[in-house]
Chain A
Amino acid sequence: MNQASQEQTALSAPHILEYDYRRSLGPVLSRFFTGLRAGKIHGIKTQSGRVLVPPAEYDPETGEATTDEFVEVGPGGVVETWAWVESPRASHPLSQPFAFALIKLDGADTALLHAVEAGEASQMKTGMRVTPRWAEESQGSIKDLSHFVPEAEGNADAPHPPAEATTDIVTPVHVEYTYSPGKAASRYLHGLKEGKIVGQASDSSGLVYVPPRGACPRDGVPTSREVEVSSKGTVVTLTIVRVPSENIKVELPYCTANILLDGADQSFTGLLQECNLDEVRIGMRVEAVWRDPSEWDYSSENIKHFRPIDEPDVPFEEIKEYC
């Protein structure tokens, strides 16, 4: 593929960022979340006597510590303001049209944010009274309070009280992207698709970067000229991994090495295999082992790993700048 047509096909791919945070709650929020599991909503009194819901360790108006006096509020309350979500997102608490609302629970001085299920927007009104619905199964989170409904629909029975306190919560993070890596990385990936490792040379210094990101990090200038580098290179540093972790598909222990490919001025991280781990060393000569061409994609996984080749080691003096 020539460069002009490559320019027209800047790549993009789906990318999902997903992980859980586990957080300890501390005494104030622990009381709040333990209460939710039993169908009770607790606020906390400030030194001036206001009741904060959700409770906080401090009074946001003064910065002073709150008292240790918890107050049970609600369960009913009044809608202070609301937003009607006609087309809920997959991440929203309810899948049918609903309202997000700020709800001032009876006995509270601040409002709690939550969802209200009311069927349609015409059933929502500022000042309306609402009452909670509890989750069928406790998750130990704000979602133990499933949502609110108009009070006319009647109060729900409280769920069974918990055997023990909720002291921490898990907050899952899930964010979806369509990632586009830009011109330089797209050109690099086009090269890999054809079984080539294509770096880019700095417009100022001529240094060749692999993989390229479009800029010479030394000078902040573009790297316009493409330079195909060799599949052979020299180990400039390495580590032996003996600890298992998620996403690692290789058998333990294994060697990860930074490899300076012939023709490049920046080292490249690769997996070193087909060798005895006792013999891997700085200066060792290696080559890329490619997958079968029928499997090549726009991916660095086209290179299965690197393996040693029968060439003399490169003296440390010649590669020390990269070590």
Chain B
Amino acid sequence: MRDVAIVSYAQTQFVRSERNQNEVEMLMPVIKEAVDNSGIPKQEIGFTCSGSTDYLSGQSFAFVMAVDAVGAWPPINESHVEMDGAWALYEAWIKIQCGEADSAMVFSFGRSSMGETAETLTLQLDPYTLAPLNADAISLAALQARAGLDAGKWTERDMAEVAARCRAQAKSNPDAQVTGDFDVDKLLTDPYLVSPLRKHDCPPVSDGAAVMIIAAEGAAHKATNKPVWIRSLEHRLDSHQPGGRDLTTSPSTKLAGKAAGVHKTAVDFAELHTPFSHQEIIVREALGLGKETLVNPSGGPLAANPLMVAGLARLGESARRIWGGHGSRAIAHATSGPCLQQNLVCVLEGE
């Protein structure tokens, strides 16, 4: 295995609605910032991979147009995944592991605000038995939340506490969208959005973009920042049928975490891609993170949830925190699909 590190990361501010800029206009300044800080000339970056979905804007080949923001002349070695940018990172990491590149740019973008996010996400469901029912993302998460409430795994108060804690932590993150101090007792008097979920249990609709540069040892030491090493990177998945698995646990996160060696040593914090409040409780359990572990110091997806970006942002926010001197070892997690169906786990370590 080659040692590969995050050498730079940049993201836009995550906002409720970016109406003035298209995807290319959002990406250009963050690509420039990330490349400049990487210490690697743009022409020397060996591979470029993006993660996005054209369904967010309803524009076919939006992912191809986004490459304009990179400046792909002379022609570059480039790829795309119709997944969160965290999986684009996985492809880039594999490319480096295979010796086909020494460095890579990973980027992702999403303007969810242009559509009805919860409905757009029904397009990722089984087209035979699930998609025609238009079971939107909030309703599916609500099925999962109730399963855990019924099983005695968490309470509505536990869920509200997760939301309040994340949004309080987000106060120190200038890129976060929903921040502030919320009173749990008061939150619990709010009406249900889709019972048993209240508005505070759900992520905001967010627009944003993020860019990460990774490099193998050698190239990694040229950067402005000290390298943040990707010690392990694993992903696993569960059945796409929500009725075919126990929704109160996440076997795929547990397997990915075990393969990534998360239990081997203590971590200083974790950034978890858990868009719904109860999902933090599920992923904490799957990764063996107790109450003492600081989770989502950035605020996490409950504070800003740009679709296709929020997973990559967990790795990026972890690296930023390590660069800021607030810890040296972290777990970053990304998810995709309904009810935590697919999960990626990464162990990051500063020098």
> With A80-B243, A184-B22, A215-B28 in contact, do A101 and B143 touch (Cβ < 8 Å)?
yes
- B134 in contact with A220 (CB, 8 Å): no
- B130 in contact with A113 (CB, 8 Å): yes
> With A23-B127, A60-B244, A176-B116 in contact, do A83 and B68 touch (Cβ < 8 Å)?
no
- A184 in contact with B73 (CB, 8 Å): no
> With A100-B139, A175-B120, A182-B20 in contact, do A112 and B243 touch (Cβ < 8 Å)?
yes
Residue on A nearest B240 in the bound complex, by CB: A60
> With A100-B135, A110-B243, A115-B133 in contact, do A216 and B71 touch (Cβ < 8 Å)?
yes
- A182 in contact with B24 (CB, 8 Å): yes
Q: Which chain B positions have C-beta within 8 A of A101?
A: 143
B128's contact among A25, A121, A180, A182, by CB below 8 Å, is which?
A: A25
> With A91-B119, A175-B55 in contact, do A81 and B244 touch (Cβ < 8 Å)?
no
B82 contacts chain A at the CB level, 8 A cutoff? no
Would you give the shortest CB distance from B243 to chain A, in whole angstroms? 3
A142's contact among B129, B140, B245, by CB below 8 Å, is which?
A: B129
B94 contacts chain A at the CB level, 8 A cutoff? no
B143's contact among A10, A15, A82, by CB below 8 Å, is which?
A: A82
- B68 in contact with A143 (CB, 8 Å): no
How many B residues touch A, CB cutoff 8 Å?
63
> With A82-B146, A182-B20 in contact, do A213 and B65 touch (Cβ < 8 Å)?
yes
Q: Which chain A positions have C-beta within 8 A of B65?
A: 213
- B195 in contact with A181 (CB, 8 Å): no
Q: Which chain A positions have C-beta within 8 A of B135?
A: 100, 113
B22's contact among A52, A80, A182, by CB below 8 Å, is which?
A: A182
Would you give the shortest CB distance from A266 to chain B, in whole angstroms? 11
Query: CB-CB contacts of A130-174 with B at 8 A, as 1s and 0s?
Result: 000000000001110000000000000000000000000101010
A286 contacts chain B at the CB level, 8 A cutoff? no
Q: Which chain A positions have C-beta within 8 A of B150?
A: 81, 126
Cα-based distance from A17 to B244 in the complex (angstroms): 31
Residue on A nearest B131 in the bound complex, by CB: A171
- A183 in contact with B25 (CB, 8 Å): yes
A93 contacts chain B at the CB level, 8 A cutoff? yes
Other than A142-B132, A220-B32, give 15 A-B pairs with Cβ distance below 8 A. Answer: A53-B243, A80-B147, A83-B140, A83-B146, A86-B195, A91-B136, A100-B140, A101-B143, A102-B242, A142-B128, A171-B127, A171-B131, A182-B20, A217-B68, A217-B71
